[in-house]
């Protein structure tokens, strides 16, 4: 992930985590970070100013690492391309209190397990996300690398998903006839 630059990524819906891990190994990826639980909280104003502007302010706890992320408005195109600024924090609760004082409040929580993979050479990375609404493989890197890597893995541009997890969750709830809430894990996820 970038510390302060343009983020380029896509998601790919996948059906089987073990099969995806095998596919990643076959095309040259190696484990970069073991499977870790992530708890994400999205903050916004009461009027949803950030969401209406297609921007994001997120506090993520992944293991012992706490990260604050700002994501800017996505640019049009086949990949999700937008500004991303991140910094690590030492105290999530204190920072959430600071955000509240500034008028930002939690509006959505989502949880997942993430495993990260990298190639020995190459500018991008792959992340396997196990979410309550399914399994997704994210490819993040330069657009040409994303396209080349997706093709090597048997995917085409028609498989690309650029929607956020919040949008995917809302669509999933609509399809299931469920009232949306937070996208949190309620039981075991298949490794």
Closest C-alpha to 73, from 166, 143, 164, 137: 164
Tokens standing for residue 185: 């894990």
| Res. 177: pLDDT tops 90 | yes
pLDDT over 80 at 35, yes or no? yes
pLDDT of residue 186: 83
Q: State the pLDDT confidence band at 2, using cuts at 50, 70 and 90.
A: very low
Whether pLDDT at 1 is above 70: no
pLDDT band at 168 (very low <50, low <70, confident <90, very high): very high
**pLDDT, position 141:** 96
Predicted pLDDT of residue 32? 96
Torsional sign, CA 52, 53, 56, 57: negative
Domains with residue ranges and CATH for the chain:
4-176 (2.40.320.10)
* Residue the block writes with tokens 């893995």: 153
pTM assigned to the model? 0.90
pLDDT at 5 over 90: no
pLDDT at 60 over 90: yes
pLDDT band at 94 (very low <50, low <70, confident <90, very high): very high
Residue 187 has a pLDDT of: 61
Averaged confidence pLDDT in the chain: 93
Residues, the chain = 191
């Amino acid at each position: 992930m970038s510390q302060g630059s343009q983020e380029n990524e896509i998601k790919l819906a996948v059906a089987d985590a073990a099969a995806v891990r095998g596919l990643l190994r076959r095309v040259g990826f190696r484990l970069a970070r073991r499977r870790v639980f992530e708890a994400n909280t999205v903050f916004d104003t009461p009027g949803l100013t950030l969401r209406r502007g297609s921007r994001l302010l997120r506090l993520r706890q992944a293991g012992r690492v706490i990260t604050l992320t700002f994501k800017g408005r996505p640019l049009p195109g086949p990949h999700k391309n937008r500004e991303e600024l991140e910094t690590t924090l030492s105290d999530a609760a204190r920072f959430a209190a600071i955000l509240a004082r500034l008028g930002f409040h939690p509006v959505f929580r989502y949880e997942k397990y993430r495993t990260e993979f990298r190639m020995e050479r190459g500018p991008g990375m792959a992340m396997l996300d196990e979410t309550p609404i399914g399994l997704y493989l994210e490819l993040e890197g330069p657009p040409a690398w994303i396209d080349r890597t997706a093709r090597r893995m048997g995917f085409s541009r028609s498989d690309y998903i650029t929607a956020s997890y919040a949008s995917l969750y809302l669509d999933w709830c609509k399809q299931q006839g469920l009232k949306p809430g937070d996208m949190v894990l309620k039981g075991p996820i298949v490794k």
